[in-house]
Structure 1
Amino acid sequence: MIITNVEAFWLQCPIAESKQHISDYGLLTHFDMTLIVVTTKSGLKGFGEAKAAVGSSGVCASIVSCVENELKPLLVGKDARNITRIWEHLYNGTRDHYALSRGRKFPILGRRGTTISAISGIDTALWDLKGKSLEKPIVEILGGSCRDSMPAYASGGWADADQIGEQLGGYVSRGFQAVKMRVGVMDNTVNNSVKRVEAAREAVGPEVKIMTDAHGTFSVPEAKQFCRRVEDCNLYWFEEPVSPDNPKGTAEVRASTTIPIAAGESEYTSFDIRDLIQLRAIDVVQPDAAIIGGISETMKTAHLASVFQLELAPHCWGSAFSFMAGVHAAFASPSATIIEFSLGGNPMMYELVEESIEVSDGTISAPEKPGLGLTPNWDFIREYSQTV
């Protein structure tokens, strides 16, 4: 299990025009991801994903450079089984011996952003390697699955007030009993967001769970107004009401409403999640394994959620690799009860891997295949790899 090579591939694939949508990020015409590949002396390969952006598209050149020029030299020759030790080494750099001997962090300056995203992909690849070497799914190594299956929620909902009912109703007709729609600045006004939510609730009825996601685009007063006006719509949660740069504002919004507040997909490491919890800003914790620090930090976040009796709902909008990383962590956590399932145009979910990721009647089963349970489609990788 000695690491002999670490590679990073920036993949960029066009989204079919029929599956493109417009959000506050604009018209999404392509999907980007950074595929991390860690190879051991025996030839065994582990795979992970690192993100340059929370949304579907982002320039991944800096992550590729970080992995291949900064982190790879630190990894080659290491035992891939020592996942926690490797994480500490990458996070603390040349001071890792202090961190390990003193029992606390001495992080490098670049402990957020690109470096943590790069570590995220590497960490997930190491968990994938460990699972494959033991011929066990990652969830089993994490302590085993807390449930045999879990409901999934259909993540989409960009249509206007006249069409949102039909769009979300289409998700329900596929078996989903929970749906998420986007709101916020893309609607121009709070009033338009409210109208869309009211139309959605009327269309799907009272029993279907509705989540809303503002992508952090409301101001604090706007978010409060939105919450007040949709209180009767019985939202399951309101996600990222205001900018992640304003955690106290998020706490202020939460204090003003009975609607559960969700956040976490834009945060790096469990320390950021700890801060949100201490501010009493969130009810639902949403780490993204490709951003927060891999499966290792996702599980630390899951433990925080459990201790503080909050719901864990990993952000699973990405390629098949970050999706399955979130799925394994969710099934291993008693605090997770529902999984995000992207219904946007996402070739990285279906064409990047050989396996078919499926939700049956709105439900996803606990993973059973070794590691992440995924096999890359190398023809796809070669076709859509970008030169850095």
Structure 2
Amino acid sequence: MRIKTVQAWWVRIPIEAARQHRSDFGVVSTFDAAILRIETDDGLVGWGEGKNAAGSTGGYGALVHMLNHEVGPELIGRDPADIAVIWEMLYNDSRHESAARAGHAMPRLARRGLTVAAISAVDIALWDILGKSLDQPVWRLIGGRKADRLPAYASGGWAPADQIGDQLKSYIDKGGFSAVKMRVGAMDGAAHISATRVRAAREALGPDVELMVDAHGTYTVAEAKRFIHLVADQNLAWFEEPVIADDKAGMAEVRASGPIPVAAGESEATRFAFRDLAVLKAADIFQPDPAFCGGITEAMRIASLASAFNLRFAPHLWAGAPCFFAGLHLCAASPASFTIEFSLGANPMIHDLIEETVEARDGMIAIPEKPGLGFTISERFLEAHAQHG
């Protein structure tokens, strides 16, 4: 079995006005991603996803060009089952043979950003192919699954203080969730405004629903510490991305300043960055995004790091179907996983891009049973929303 074709598209799906929301990213009017198709010479097709922009917004022209014209040609003729070998080849670039002989990484200078986003898309697609070639779901190939359903949390929460309770309760009504996440930070301005929204949310939800908050890295260290002080009695499950990912020492200071667990990692790429988070004691919960951190292969390594440091693993899954399903398999196999992110904002890149129905029932999400990642792309829908030229 050899790789025959590699094709990526910038897929942009409009979000109807009634379902758009405003955050620190502005008004989200489209859902964008780089979607990758890899086909083997015996007709197997694997699907991957790469991300290089915040949330579901931004431009994907550069990443798609890289996949089609730089990365893709390097893959033609290779055995798609050599997943980790291909990962290291793409990461180390022209020095990959030297790195393999020496037994340590010699990465290309552009070793983050677009490089790892492209590797992520390839890696997810290769795992999809491997599962299909062996007629097994990916979770079985990466260690098995610890349950056929796993707990999920509803991810959303942009409403102002007088509406946030109703918004979060509507999530619970939709999927039976017992955990919800809301956004705070720059979208509110001052920390005390976010704190007021959190207090309103907790009052509406009561004491038994888990409540997480996500600042998208928009606070300074001082503001994040002030926010923690203001909401220390609200029993928050975690405080996500309190400060920018580039300030790991500052994140460690925030973590040490109060009783709320810190979650981080959606802006981090590769095991090396998560090693630093662990060593600096900057996070309690690792949140790698499979479409950005390096794919399933690298997310497994990151999950192992979490386990080794007695931390927890909850990947960032505000994403399209290939990334989301990759996260389901990773959570099924990782001993450090405990919850799955399920976006309650408009997400046509999951719900409309594939033939299957993705839903939460009683706050749980089923782990796929089908071979590979376990979904069927609607190629007609993909073609209708692929950007050309």
State the match for 1:19 in structure 2.
19
Q: Where does residue 145 of structure 2 map in the other structure? A: 145
Structure 2 equivalent of residue 50 of structure 1: 50
Aligned residue for 1:6, secondary structure, equals strand
Letter of the structure 1 residue corresponding to residue 188 of structure 2: D
Aligned to 2:86: 86
Which segment drifts farther, 162-171 or 64-73? 64-73
Provide the residue aligned with 2:104 in structure 1. 104
CA shift for structure 1 position 254:
0.3
Residue 187 of structure 1 aligns to a residue in which SS?
coil
**Quick one: percent identity of the two aligned structures?**
52
Query: Following superposition of structure 1 onto structure 2, how do residues 220-299 of structure 1 map, counting pairs within 5 Å?
Result: 220-299=221-300
Q: What RMSD over aligned residues (CA atoms) do the two structures have, in Å?
A: 0.8
Give the CA deviation at 1:363: 0.4
C-alpha distance in structure 2 between counterparts of 1:332 and 1:325, whole Å: 11
Q: Distance in 2 between matches of 1:277 and 1:52?
A: 24
Task: Name the residue aligned to 2:69.
Answer: 69
How far does residue 318 in structure 1 lie from its aligned partner after superposition? Answer: 0.7
Output the CA distance in 2 between the equivalents of 1:54 and 1:315: 12
Q: Determine whether 1:378 maps to 2:379.
A: yes
More deviation, 110-119/363-372: 363-372
What TM-score, normalized by structure 1, do the two folds share?
0.99
Shift of 1:73: 1.7
Aligned to 1:357: 358
Amino acid at match of 2:171: Y
Are 2:198 and 2:231, in contact at CA under 8 Å, matched by a contact in 1? yes
Taking the aligned partners of 1:370 and 1:363, their CA distance within structure 2 comes to 21
Moved over 6 A (4+): none
1:199 shift after superposition = 0.4
Kept after mapping to 1: 8 A contact 2:25/2:54: no
Q: Which has the higher mean CA deviation after the structures are superposed, 139-148 or 120-129? A: 139-148
Q: Distance in 2 between matches of 1:381 and 1:365?
A: 25
Residues 102-142 of structure 1: per-residue CA shift (max 9 Å, x gap): 11101111110001101100000000000011111100000
CA contact (8 A) 2:153 2:341 kept: yes
State the Cα deviation string for residues 215-240 of structure 1 (Å, max 9, x = none): 00011100000001101100000000
Per-residue deviation, 1:148: 2.6
Where does residue 334 of structure 1 map in the other structure?
335
Deviation at 1:365, TM superposition (A): 1.9
- Structure 1 residue 381: Cα displacement: 1.1
Q: How many aligned residue pairs are there?
A: 388
Whole-Å separation in 2 of the counterparts to 1:54 and 1:137: 30
- Distance in 1, matches of 2:272 and 2:288, equals 12
User: How many angstroms apart in 1 are the aligned matches of 2:155 and 2:304?
Assistant: 25
In 1, Cα distance between equivalents of 2:317 and 2:329 = 11
The 8 Å contact of residues 7 and 67 in structure 1, kept in 2 or not, is answered as: yes
| Rounded Cα–Cα distance in structure 2 between residues aligned with 1:138 and 1:282 | 28
Tell me the distance in 1 between the aligned counterparts of 2:231 and 2:7.
47
TM-score, structure 2 length as denominator? Answer: 0.99
1:172–1:204 Cα contact (<8 Å) kept: no
Quick check: 1:366 aligned with 2:367?
Answer: yes
Matches of 2:347 and 2:172 in 1, distance apart?
19
Separation of aligned partners in 1, 2:315 and 2:356? 21
The offset of 1:366, in angstroms, is 2.2
d(CA) in 2 for partners of 1:141, 1:336: 17
Distance in 2 (alpha carbons) for counterparts of 1:333 and 1:147: 11
1:303 corresponds to: 304
Deviations 1:316-371 (A, max 9, x none): 00111111111110111011011000000111111101111121111012221111
8 Å contact from structure 1 (residues 223, 242) kept in 2:
yes
Deviations 1:41-79 (A, max 9, x none): 011110010012131111001111111111112110100
2 CA distance for matches of 1:317 and 1:245? 21
Q: Give the equivalent residue in structure 2 for 1:115.
A: 115
1:57 match: secondary structure: coil
Deviations along 1:362-383, whole A, 9 cap, x unmatched?
Answer: 1012221111111111111111
Task: Give the match for residue 178 of structure 2.
Answer: 177
Q: Is the 8 A contact 1:2 1:79 kept in 2?
A: yes
Structure 2 residue runs without a partner (length 5+): none
Letter in 2 for 1:205: G
